[in-house]
């Protein structure tokens, strides 16, 4: 470790040492960028999973509302009072709930970013820094 510190403070380093130092720094930067990308993609995957759950629940509730609407048509034939109206109202309410859940889930899916924006920005900054260092 002491030798490395001496090498960094020595102004008379050879070209090979300078190139080796640059390569090591670039490797460290790339490793950091990969770790950042993994963390960012993991967070976005979790958001996508949560939005997908909401969407799935909305679809299930929508299917149940369709079943109730169909059941309402059957009851319409068997009751004196217009029970089909009651079944249609219940089915309509469930359809509205399903619509709200599906729209909410879809909206949350739009918030999911497929590309790691922070990592891209960081890589661009590192490239700029590297360009300045090599001038």
pLDDT in tens, 89-115: 877 888 899 999 999 999 888 887 777
Contacts of 64 (CB under 8 A, 6+ apart): 94, 98
Please choose, from the candidates 16, 11, 34, the residue with its C-alpha nearest in 3D space to the C-alpha of residue 122: 34
Q: Lowest-pLDDT range, 41-55, 100-114, 115-129?
A: 115-129
Tell me what pLDDT residue 101 has: 94
Contacts of 114 (CB under 8 A, 6+ apart): 44
Q: Please determine, for residue 74, whether its predicted confidence score (pLDDT) is greater than 70.
A: no
pLDDT in tens, 10-31: 567 788 888 888 888 888 888 8
Tell me what pLDDT residue 90 has: 77
Tell me what pLDDT residue 99 has: 94
Contacts of 22 (CB under 8 A, 6+ apart): 133
| Residue extents of the structural domains in the chain | 13-134
């Amino acid at each position: 470790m002491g030798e490395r510190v001496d090498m960094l403070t020595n102004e008379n380093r050879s070209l090979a040492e300078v190139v080796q130092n640059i390569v090591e720094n670039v490797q460290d930067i790339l490793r950091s960028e990969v770790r950042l990308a993994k963390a960012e993609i993991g967070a976005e995957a979790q958001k996508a999973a949560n939005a997908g759950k909401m969407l799935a629940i909305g679809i299930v509730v929508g299917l149940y509302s369709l079943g109730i609407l169909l059941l309402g048509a059957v009851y319409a034939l068997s009751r004196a009072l217009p029970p089909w109206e009651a079944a249609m109202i219940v089915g309509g309410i469930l359809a509205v709930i399903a619509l709200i859940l599906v729209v909410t889930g879809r909206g949350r899916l739009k918030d999911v970013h497929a590309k790691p924006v922070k990592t891209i920005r960081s890589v661009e900054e590192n490239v700029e820094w590297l360009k300045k260092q090599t001038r």
